[in-house]
A and B are shown apart, each in its own frame.
Chain A
Amino acid sequence: MTSRSVFDQFSERVTRGLARFSSRRSVLGAMGTAAVAQAFPLLPVARAAETSLTEFELKAQTKDPLRCDYWRHCAIDGVLCGCCGGGIHSCPPGSQPSPVSWIGTCRNPDDGKSYVIAYRDCCGRTTCQAPESCDCNTADRELPIYRPQNSNDIIWCFGTASQRYHCSTAALIGSAD
């Protein structure tokens, strides 16, 4: 009788154990379960992979409007007025909303719908000194400067008494779909 190696003994034990405790039927059952799990891609990762969301849209949140990843800030280039004594659709005291603005759409992650957002600059005071986390530069559906009507690199302080840029708002205009 030849003595078996430790490795052989271990392998045999594992194989026998597998054979004794798992029938082919249970393997089929487990595979079926796994297949069903795949058929219902309910985890956020799987959902995100299904549609072509932008990098911003994958991370967008709906709770804190004082952060750059707030859903309405998908194409904002500037300092958030909410960090400067104003709000998401109001200018801080002493500044004036520009009558012209950059209008685009952002996707609300809660209902998956697009909304029309107007990025109105507040003008007439020097640039607001806010924490760095309030200085945003996102660019969903934004285009380079040679398409000025779709570029947010422009300071939109036109038609105001002063062309000094203070901060940016993101007013909600309506639902686009």
Chain B
Amino acid sequence: MRCTARLLLRLIPVVGLVAGMGRMAVAQERPSGMTRLPEAKVAYLLNCGGCHGEAGRSSPALVPDLKSQVGYFLCTPEGRNYLVRLPNVAFSHLSSSSLTVLMNFMVFDMGEGSAPAGAKPYTVAEVDRLRREPLQMGNFMAYRQKTVAGVVRACPAAAKVSSFAADDPYVLANRR
């Protein structure tokens, strides 16, 4: 008995090791060929992508498309401020520095080709200031259309994409 007990005691780490190796040897379901997404893309997916679509397009009557068009908002100071002052942007749980990275990803990467030449990236101080002034006017859609009209005057090419076009499905769906 004594010998068995001592042997068992000595075997504890060995059993532990074998158990550990056993776990490692089990066929693993590692999603193959999946590279790590950039941090800004993950932030976009988790905070915006559900509604705006994983690639910036989903259902334009429900939420405006972003892909290759959201950058046009940078054509005017009001448009630039508008994006950060949108309630779900301003009230995001992200820190202002993470939100700045996300905004720049959205405008320059997702909005590829739509930001005017020479547009400067958002700075942390700018985002931090703007998110303290969230949009809270009585008629949000009217304010949006005024902002969009200003953008189209500054960058006429914007009128060719859905979110800035006269027949924007989002505006038509939300018309009072």
Listed in ascending order, the chain A residues whose CB lies under 8 Å from chain B are 21-22, 26, 30, 33-34, 36-37, 40-44, 62-63, 99-105, 108, 110-111, 115-116, 118, 149, 158-159, 172-177
Contact = CB atoms under 8 A, between A and B. Distances in A.
Query: Interface size class for chain B?
Result: 35 or more
23 contacts: A30-B6, A34-B9, A37-B12, A40-B17, A42-B20, A43-B20, A44-B19, A99-B53, A100-B59, A100-B62, A103-B49, A108-B29, A110-B28, A111-B30, A118-B54, A149-B47, A149-B88, A159-B61, A174-B34, A174-B35, A174-B41, A175-B34, A176-B42
B125 to A, nearest CB: 26
B152 interface: no
Contacts of B175: none
Contacts of B30: 108, 110-111
A157 to B, nearest CB: 11
Interface string B23-39: 10010111100111100
Contacts of A105: 46
Which 7 A-B pairs give the minimum distances between C-beta atoms? Answer: A159-B59, A42-B20, A110-B28, A62-B29, A99-B59, A42-B16, A174-B37
A143 B29 CA distance: 28
Nearest to A116: B45
Interface of B: 2, 6, 9-10, 12-13, 16-17, 19-20, 23, 26, 28-31, 34-37, 41-42, 45-47, 49-51, 53-54, 58-59, 61-63, 88
Given A100-B53, A103-B49, A177-B36, 4 more contacts: A21-B2, A100-B62, A105-B46, A174-B36
Nearest to A39: B13
A99 B16 CA distance: 48
B29 A63 contact: yes
Contact of A42 (B19, B59, B88): B19
B55 to A, nearest CB: 10
Contacts of B26: 110
Contacts of B9: 30, 33-34
Nearest to B5: A30
A40 B16 contact: yes
A176 B62 contact: no
Given A62-B28, A115-B31, A100 B63 contact: yes
Nearest to B42: A176
B152 to A, nearest CB: 25
B10 to A, nearest CB: 5
B51 A149 contact: yes
B31 A173 contact: no
A161 B63 CA distance: 16
